[in-house]
Structure 1
């Protein structure tokens, strides 16, 4: 069943968020002046242990794209994930990217024919954020998604032949982002949540990422961080035999090594 968006209510929500942001910025500027700080940098390669649920349609033929963490790692040919941040205490520039090359097995909704999905995905998010106070930041950004998908459907038991289909798609999603974080125990521990919502029908119908995290900084240079990530999007293009749909939720824990410099 396709989700119907209430465009009016959604537009009101987006406009309200922007008004809140732009109203808050002047108020923050009237507060006690903050001395300029040097730019600090964070680099964090991380490993995600995801499971996948949803559906991918290639050339008009849908297939279940669900896979467990074990299935994903068994079929993972290549993967890489990196988070980078530059901040000066008031402003932050964030880059978060990952690449995966994997396969998943499922069945078609009609006739339950066996199907194999080969998926290569590159997602790169860039965002700028402004600090409202000691624990809250808001900003805007965007994500480029590039997906190469191939669908192989096994022959039917009697008459139906097998099929091999492939499609490549690249699109851009605008994002509204926010981060809430606190530090304690003399700043060795940090606890927070990072979230981004976007798509708005410009690229994806919707896209969101929710990422609660915790980290412990052993030294000025080195930190270990754990998190849980929900990363979902629904993108649709074309119709009939040219229909491509990517409606997938990736979720799972992650472990990262964070370098501060």
Structure 2
């Protein structure tokens, strides 16, 4: 697949090159890219209540994926999922911060001599070049606005069912993962609004098992059924 000709270039290199150079090479299946998205910040009850009103030593929500003793934040949790996918089935799984492209805000703050890309633009570009794109949403994450973010990314690929424009990326390359306790009216409308599969996981092992089946199925569809990677807009 001609990934090098898809999407934008940044700083003289394709986004695909940036991803490959910025992420660990898992080995024989390193050409299969899986972009993993989700909230990076855990929900802390001190966001909602004053400290003197909280009667607990642990301000975090108990959840299947996030363990404050093992993970600094939800970003580290998602990174752990990527590590497992790089081990088995050996694909190049990554989160946005694995790729060394700064945001526009970071270039200003750090006085970098480059333009940067906004977080949404980065997500769209990483999704363009990726074989599989997954959203992992857990009740332990700070999920404010997550429905808008998911909708914006899916909408960029013309995946809203009422959109009359042809899809730019096949729906079968996307999947949304929700923990059993996660609740969001906007996310729960994704299957009917966008036609994207949603899977409820009961445990980390359940999540990883389904993820491995999903990416292996996408790889097979790409190899044997000619599943397109991305259809750029007509010039």
Q: TM-score range by the shorter chain?
A: under 0.3
Where is the strand percentage greater, Structure 1 or Structure 2?
1
Larger radius of gyration: 1
* TM-score, normalisation: structure 2: 0.25
